[in-house]
């Protein structure tokens, strides 16, 4: 599929927005709503592409935008959420009313990353938990489809956990209750998401000495998930063959771990 490059048409303006443009966009949206962003510039008379209009509205003109410096509480929330979610700025922004993903991203890169490095230079700052990418074609199926491995996972503690015990030879089909598949809302449900901090991982590693993976089908509640700090790579290799790697295993278990809303069922193995 060939995509028409955004803003490439002659006459479309780029760069900083003039106050008059802001005025036009604001009054148009207040009157008509934004509807189709692509059509908005034509209808409002702006010489901008829809994408640019959308960004300007979302990041700057929206009436509920909170301006000014971030409070200590907001910064702490960002740090906490980033620790849990990684660079999922929109998910983090959803928990900070009036703040945009762009703003949070900027604050993270300019202030918080440095702040964290100062206060705790040994802790990995760029910890990223990738959101599993689901193939659209599988959205109604009951199986988890893994489209690509996590690109960066930095949990050194996990690599040292002892192995789990499974008797599985086929883990390719995991039933996920009613929700059928991972939904972004599930991942966004931070109210039910356990906080994963360093103490969790060290506790998990300690517990792992005595726990093994259940060998029969089970319902995996939030608590149970927390009790099974698997060796991601080995467990995944066990299920998918020895050619799979740590990232595959991490992503696979992330799929399972992230289901925090409804209990899920694992197949017999």
Partner DNA sequence: AAAATCATCAACCGCGATCGC
Partner DNA sequence: TGCGATCGCGGTTGATGATTT
Q: How far is the CB of 54 from DNA (least distance, A)?
A: 6
Is 52 an interacting residue with respect to DNA (CB under 7 A)?
A: yes
- Specify which residues 23 forms β-bridges with: none
Is 7 an interacting residue with respect to DNA (CB under 7 A)?
A: yes
Which residue of 43, 71, 139, 212 would you call a contact of DNA, by CB under 7 A? 139
Please identify, among the stretches 51-59, 212-220, 230-238, 247-255, the one whose residues bind DNA according to the rule CB under 7 A. Answer: 51-59
Is 28 an interacting residue with respect to DNA (CB under 7 A)?
A: no
Is 118 an interacting residue with respect to DNA (CB under 7 A)?
A: no
Token pair 């909170």 in the structure block, residue: 66
Is 1 an interacting residue with respect to DNA (CB under 7 A)?
A: yes
**φ, ψ for residue 219 (rounded to 5)?**
-95, 125
**φ, ψ for residue 264 (rounded to 5)?**
-120, 160
Is 99 an interacting residue with respect to DNA (CB under 7 A)?
A: no
Helix (H) or strand (E) holding 231: none
Q: How far is the CB of 102 from DNA (least distance, A)?
A: 5
Residue 12 CA to residue 246 CA, distance in Å, equals 46
Is 247 an interacting residue with respect to DNA (CB under 7 A)?
A: no
Residue 150 CA to residue 92 CA, distance in Å, equals 20
- Answer whether 53's CB lies under 8 Å from 37's CB: yes
Tokens found for residue 70? 């971030």
- Answer whether 230's CB lies under 8 Å from 161's CB: yes
The site that binds DNA (CB under 7 A) totals a number of residues, namely 47
Q: Binding residues for DNA, per CB under 7 A? A: 1, 3-7, 13-17, 35-39, 50-52, 54-56, 59-60, 87-91, 101-103, 105-107, 109-111, 128, 131, 133-136, 139, 147, 184
């Amino acid at each position: 599929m060939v995509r028409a490059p955004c803003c490439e048409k002659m006459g479309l303006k780029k760069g900083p927005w003039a106050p008059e443009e802001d005025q036009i966009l604001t009054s148009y949206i207040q009157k008509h709503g934004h509807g189709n962003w692509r059509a908005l510039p034509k209808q409002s008379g702006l010489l901008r592409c829809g994408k640019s209009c959308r960004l300007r509205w979302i990041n700057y003109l929206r009436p509920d935008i909170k301006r000014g410096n971030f409070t200590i509480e907001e910064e702490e929330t960002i740090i906490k959420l980033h620790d849990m979610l990684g660079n999922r700025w929109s998910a983090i922004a959803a928990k900070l009313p009036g703040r945009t993903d762009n703003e949070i991203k900027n604050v993270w890169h300019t202030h918080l990353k440095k702040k964290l490095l100062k206060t705790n230079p040994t802790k990995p700052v760029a910890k990223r938990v990738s959101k599993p990418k689901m193939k659209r074609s599988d959205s109604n199926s009951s199986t988890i489809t893994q489209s690509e491995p996590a690109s960066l996972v930095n949990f050194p503690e996990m690599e040292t956990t002892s192995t789990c015990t499974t008797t599985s030879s086929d883990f390719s089909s995991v039933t996920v209750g009613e929700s059928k598949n991972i939904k972004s809302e599930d991942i966004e449900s931070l109210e039910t998401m356990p906080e994963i901090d360093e103490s969790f991982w060290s506790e998990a590693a300690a517990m792992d000495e005595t726990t093994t993976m259940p060998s029969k089908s089970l319902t995996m509640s939030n608590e149970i998930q927390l009790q099974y700090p698997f060796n991601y790579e080995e467990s995944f290799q066990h299920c998918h063959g020895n050619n799979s790697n740590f990232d595959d295993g991490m992503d696979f278990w992330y799929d399972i771990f992230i289901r925090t809303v409804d209990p899920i069922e694992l197949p017999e193995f």
